[in-house]
Amino acid sequence: MKAIKISLLGKILVAIALGIGIGLISPEWIVRTFVTFNSIFSQFLGFAIPLIIVGLVTPAIADIGRKAGKMLIATEHLASPALRQRAWDMDILLIDKVAYISTIFAGLVSYLTGAAFFPSMIAGGEGLKTLSEAIETEPYFSVSIPPLMGVMTALVLAFMTGLGLASSQHKTLLDAAHGFEEIVTMTIKSAIIPILPLYIFGIFLNMTYVGQVFAILTVFIKIIGIIFLIHIGILILQFAIAGGLARKNPFKLLWTMMPAYFTALGTQSSAATIPVTLDQTKKNGVPEDIAGFTIPLCATIHMSGSTLKIVACALALMIMQDIPYDFWQFFGFICMLAITMIAAPGVPGGAIMASLGVLQSMLGFNQDSLALMIALYIAMDSFGTACNVTGDGAIAIIVNRLLRKV
């Protein structure tokens, strides 16, 4: 008999439902048992976050130019001589800039929309002063696992090392960075991601036991609805800009990309959707040579959908906990997040795992807040990926137009 395979989203939803159901009737000793487990796992997660940053960000920065060069070589036979020369001179930086600006723009739209609507949505007794009020049950015991370094130290080390390796291409050190990346990715894939449903079960079990879960879920449902509308709006804006530059109907361009959008909903992977995204981009009039290096590169560096989700969820949780925030704080966070997301591993939930360090260091999130961020993000993972890959088509149209003006 073939085993039934449940997606990470399915496991998270089951964990939330079971946590609520069991929390309504559970005795205190069961709740404290899972609180103890969550306490230990939180310590492990806190220990792992700096290592995740170093392991993922360092090789991502070191490799981005080299990978792009390989894609250009692979598509070189498709390009006209004049266009190929322009590509070698400026295409990588151009794609990087357009994709980075698009990602930051999505984050800013998400923040401004959330700042306008979330306070009134979360008001009326639905907010929490701190999540510790909702997660107040004491564990039986705790285990301290101090991290090897602070999160910001890990970020600086990763950027410094990555930029150094990108310049020197020292093979031994680069191989070591990739080896550590494999260890970190395997840890995320084999240890952290599989345990997340049990961790989130414990969180919702405890919140239900202390009577806070339904207030939080009410807010979550509203947030998810707003984020869905934001991601539709971002796609319309991206293709409005692309259509304006290319002098084409933006809605027709967006409609042509719908097969890529729905494929990404199913695969939850930008990389797995590249063939469909590439085909639909060419149907929008982007030459094969330009689409051939823009789409694969954007699958790695263009994270507008993922960024807007993380920004909106982070803002909502800060409002729920009555944590002060301002525009410039989030602007810096969005700029750093757009860079860090490039290092996200290609596994379900990889983007939110790569962003945990920035959430912790720049917004001050504790382990309980990070756990709720993970649950919120994964609940909308498919739509974020779909927004990423569909937006790649708009980036390709913009890049094509800008290259042909050079």
* Amino acid residing at 394: A
State how far the Cα of 160 lies from the Cα of 47, in Å rounded to an integer: 21
Handedness of CA 185, 189, 193, 198 (dihedral sign): negative
Q: How far is CA 108 from the centre of its chain?
A: 15
Query: Residue 78: its pLDDT value, please?
Result: 41
| Residues 381/10, Cβ–Cβ less than 8 Å | no
- The rounded distance, in Å, linking the Cα atoms of 215 and 228 is 21
Token pair belonging to 375: 């649950």
Tell me the per-residue pLDDT of 144-162, one tens digit each, with 9 for 90 and over.
888 888 878 888 888 888 8
Tell which CATH architecture fits domain 8-403.
Orthogonal Bundle (1.10)
Residue ranges in the chain modelled with pLDDT below 70: 1-4, 64-93, 123-136, 169, 345-349, 404-406
Cβ contact 9:382 at 8 Å: yes
Question: What pLDDT score does 174 carry?
Answer: 84
- For residue 348, the 8-state DSSP code is T
DSSP string computed for 249-294? -HHHHHHHTHHHHHHHHHH--TTTTHHHHHHHHHHTT--HHHHHHH
Q: Return the DSSP state at 190.
A: I
Determine the pLDDT at residue 9. 73
Residue labelled with tokens 């929390």:
23
Cα–Cα distances (Å) from 390 to 74, 219, 238, 338, in that order, read 23, 28, 10, 17
Question: How far, rounded to the nearest angstrom, does the alpha carbon of residue 323 sit from its chain's CA centroid?
Answer: 22
Structure tokens at 111: 């923040």
Alpha carbon distance 56, 79 (integer Å): 33
The one-character DSSP state at 91 is I
**Residues 203/372, Cβ–Cβ less than 8 Å:** yes
pLDDT confidence of residue 193: 83
Would you state the structure tokens that stand for residue 314, as one six-digit string? 């982070």
**Predicted pLDDT of residue 120:** 82
User: What is the dihedral angle through the alpha carbons of 93, 99, 101, 105, rounded to the nearest 10 degrees?
Assistant: 180
Kindly tell me the burial class for residue 14, based on how many C-beta atoms sit within 10 Å of its own C-beta (0-12, 13-18, 19 or more): middle
Residue-range domain boundaries for the chain: 8-403
Distance separating alpha carbons of residues 97 and 370, to the nearest angstrom: 30
**Whole-angstrom distance, CA of residue 178 vs CA of residue 144:** 29
C-alpha 183/C-alpha 177 separation (Å) is 10
Q: What pLDDT is attached to residue 383?
A: 83
